[in-house]
């Protein structure tokens, strides 16, 4: 007997996963990675106060989480100096991107992004039958002018831009992002992914009124706050846009433990400053290792570094596989010419030492 048919849109889609997780790779290889430096996780860990708060809250895990995330939204409002009505909390930026696309995109609607940018956004656009239009990077950065031009050409409903950028670690000045808003076509929303904003210089953060209806900004506790496994992200923007999420979101999607951990992490800005310092040191170490091995580290405003191998994508793919075989997990961009690079997450000294020892061995073998 056959199962009932899928609905038309999912029936037309391939069964793909935007990222193959390191756990899958470890099962395939038959061993655990010695250095897990490929997923842009924060290896320096969350605030000890957040860990203790989550440990304490585990006793209450039999209770559902507050479906409004009231306490966390209030704390974020104070932190950002905005109203809680401007904020929605969700299951990481990934979850919020899916909700936004569902809220804004009808089948056939145009959406614009960069070729090689965050693929999970593309996954959601396909999942709701949007039509994705891509523009190339320019000088290893997303190209705001090209994004706006393509949006105007296609009548796009959404334009996606990450600042700082993944996978290259590059960034634009906030004034550049602000100028993009004036070029958007009517009825179009800029999706500004700021997952790495805590690592960025001050000048990279745009000064945009929170009630500007042309933009929604998305941030996360997965990167600088070291809570990727807790799945806590948030978006902020015009209150009517934010209220729209109530129509489509999973109201019990957040966990109590994640909410409490994020609340404690946000309160511990001293730990955040510590992590920033550790990341700056680790970026310098990655650059040093790259130089010692005849490669070049691109400037980064994130917790990872894109390292230019000086070769092509085929070489970079072989390098990634060779490092995996030695127990070092890294990733790379998937689109040329970005794929000449490998992407290395910042990590404690132990893992940096493993990379320093292993990389020349793999290069010699190649």
- Per-residue pLDDT, averaged over 341-347, amounts to 98
Query: Model confidence at 206, in pLDDT bands (50, 70, 90)?
Result: very high
Helix or strand or coil: residue 308?
strand
Same-domain status, 349 and 239: no
- The residue range of the domain holding 35 is 8-45+270-365
Region 108-121: mean pLDDT is 97
CA distances from 64 to 99, 289, 301 (A): 21, 47, 37
- Please report whether residue 51 resides in a domain: no
Question: Which of 233, 268, 303 is a domain's end point?
Answer: 268
Residue that finishes a domain, picked among 268, 283, 307: 268
Query: How many whole angstroms separate alpha carbon 356 and alpha carbon 366?
Result: 16
Assess if residue 52 is contained within a domain. no
pTM of the model: 0.96
CATH number of the domain that residue 186 is part of: 3.40.640.10
The answer on pLDDT for 144 being more than 90 is yes
**pLDDT value, residue 18:** 82
Phi, psi of 63 (to 5 degrees): -95, 145
Distance from C-alpha of 306 to C-alpha of 265, rounded to nearest angstrom: 28
Given strand 341-345, what is the order of strands in its sheet? 296-297, 304-308, 341-345
Is residue 252 located within the same domain as residue 313?
no
Which of 268, 299, 325 terminates a domain? The answer is: 268
**Looking at the predicted structure, is the pLDDT value of residue 16 above 90?**
no
DSSP alpha helices (H): ranges in 128-255? 144-154, 174-183, 239-244
225 and 126 together in one domain = yes
C-alpha span between 23 and 30 (Å, rounded): 10
Is there a domain that residue 351 lies in? yes
Q: Are residues 203 and 103 in the same domain?
A: yes
Tell whether 22 and 85 lie within a shared domain.
no
Q: Does the residue 104 lie in any domain?
A: yes
Residue 105 and residue 72 in one domain: yes
pLDDT at 46: 98
Please give the Cα distance from 42 to 259 (Å, whole number).
Answer: 18
Q: Is residue 358 located within the same domain as residue 238?
A: no
Phi, psi of 347 (to 5 degrees): -155, 165
Specify if 207 maps to a domain. Answer: yes
Give how many domains the chain has, as a whole number.
2
């Amino acid at each position: 007997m056959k199962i009932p048919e899928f609905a038309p849109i999912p029936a037309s889609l391939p069964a793909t996963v935007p990222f193959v997780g390191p756990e899958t790779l470890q099962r395939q290889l038959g061993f655990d990675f010695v250095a897990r430096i490929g997923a842009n996780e924060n290896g320096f860990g969350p605030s000890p106060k957040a860990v203790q708060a989550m440990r304490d809250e585990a006793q209450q895990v039999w209770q559902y989480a507050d479906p409004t995330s009231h306490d966390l939204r209030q704390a974020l409002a104070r932190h950002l100096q905005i109203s809680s009505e401007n904020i929605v909390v969700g299951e990481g930026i990934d979850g919020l991107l899916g909700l936004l696309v569902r809220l804004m995109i009808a089948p056939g609607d145009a959406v614009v992004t960069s070729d090689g940018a965050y693929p999970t956004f593309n996954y959601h656009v396909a999942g709701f039958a949007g039509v994705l239009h891509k523009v190339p990077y320019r000088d290893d950065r997303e190209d705001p002018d090209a994004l706006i031009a393509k949006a105007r050409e296609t009548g796009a409903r959404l334009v996606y831009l990450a600042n700082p950028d993944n996978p290259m670690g590059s960034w634009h000045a906030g004034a550049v992002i602000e100028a993009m808003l004036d070029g958007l076509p009517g009825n179009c929303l800029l999706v500004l992914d700021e997952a790495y904003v805590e690592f960025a210089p001050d000048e990279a953060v745009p000064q945009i009124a929170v009630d500007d209806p042309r933009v929604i900004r998305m941030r996360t506790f997965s990167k600088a706050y070291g809570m990727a496994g807790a799945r806590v992200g948030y978006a902020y923007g015009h209150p009517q846009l934010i209220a729209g999420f109530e129509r489509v979101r999973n109201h019990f999607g957040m966990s109590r433990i994640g909410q409490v951990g994020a609340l404690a992490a946000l309160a511990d800005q001293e730990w955040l400053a510590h992590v920033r310092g550790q990341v700056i040191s680790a970026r310098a170490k990655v650059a040093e290792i790259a130089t010692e091995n005849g490669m070049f580290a691109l400037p980064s405003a994130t917790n990872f570094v894109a390292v230019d191998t000086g070769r092509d994508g085929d070489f970079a793919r072989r390098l990634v596989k060779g490092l995996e075989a030695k127990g070092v997990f890294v990733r790379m961009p998937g689109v040329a010419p970005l794929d000449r690079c490998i992407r290395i997450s910042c990590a404690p000294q132990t893992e940096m030492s493993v990379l320093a020892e292993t990389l020349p061995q793999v290069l010699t073998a190649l």
